[in-house]
Amino acid sequence: MIRFVPLLALVALAGCFPDKLDPTACKSVSFTTSVNGDTVTTSTGLKYVDGTIGAGPVVGWCQNISIHYEAYLSNGTQFDESRSSGVPLVFAPGVGSLIDGMEQGVIGMRGGSTRRLIIPPQLGFGSTDRKDENGTVIVPANSTVIFDVEIIQVQTPVP
């Protein structure tokens, strides 16, 4: 299995939540949605399909969360995951540590929920090939990528 090193490098934060976020480092994105069947499309171009709806707290901008995910190219080729290591990915949507589609796609989910994110190139990895440590292309330029996400934990905001 191929691992996408630049994205997994962010797992270094896993297992701990910072006590406070720098509020100046956080941005939120406003978007509207439309629904066609089970698929929701946002005005930014992100598409998603909800799976299990959890009962935990709702994910908001700049709120620390931990997730498990699996990532695929649109042809079904898996290029990354967090499940096999058992170590969740920890981040705060809006801080800019992940691709925009991932950060936007978890907003509004509840702890324990699952969602499939269909991320267009402009919200994903863009017009540059993403390569592994050996120089092999993992995500070709201009690729739509798919992330299956599960919210493991949502940290309640620190006042």
Residue 121 has pLDDT above 70, yes or no: yes
Whole-number Å distance between alpha carbons of 106 and 3: 22
Burial of 1 (0-12, 13-18, 19+ CB in 10 A): exposed
Q: What pTM was computed for the model?
A: 0.82
Q: Are 151 and 58 in contact (CB under 8 A)?
A: no
- When mean pLDDT is compared across 23-27, 64-68, 105-109, 134-138, the lowest value belongs to 23-27
- Report pLDDT for 158: 53
Q: Are 91 and 111 in contact (CB under 8 A)?
A: no
pLDDT tens, residue by residue, 92-118: 999 999 999 999 999 999 999 999 999
Which of left, alpha, beta for 98 (phi over 0: left; psi -120 to 50: alpha)? beta
- Report pLDDT for 19: 47
Whole-number Å distance between alpha carbons of 28 and 7: 21
What tokens were used for 133?
């440590």
Q: What DSSP designation does 141 have?
A: T
| Domains in the chain with CATH codes | 37-154 (3.10.50.40)
